[in-house]
Amino acid sequence: MSSEHATTLLQLRALWHDRYVVDLAGDGTWSARRQGAVERLITADSGQLLRHEISEDFPLWLAQARRRA
Question: What's the pTM?
Answer: 0.86
Other CB atoms within 10 Å distance of the CB of residue 3:
7
Q: What share of the chain is helix, strand, coil (3-state, %, to 5)?
A: 50, 20, 30
| Residue closest to 38 by CA, chosen among 25, 51, 20 | 20
Domain extent at residue 39: 3-68
Q: How many domains does the chain have?
A: 1
CA quadruple 5, 11, 13, 16: dihedral positive or negative? negative
Could you give the CA distance from residue 10 to residue 58 in angstroms, rounded to a whole number? 19
Strand partners for 41? 33
pLDDT digits (tens, 9 = 90+) for 56-66: 999 998 898 78
pLDDT for 19 = 94
pLDDT for 69 beyond 80: no
Average pLDDT over residues 21-42: 91
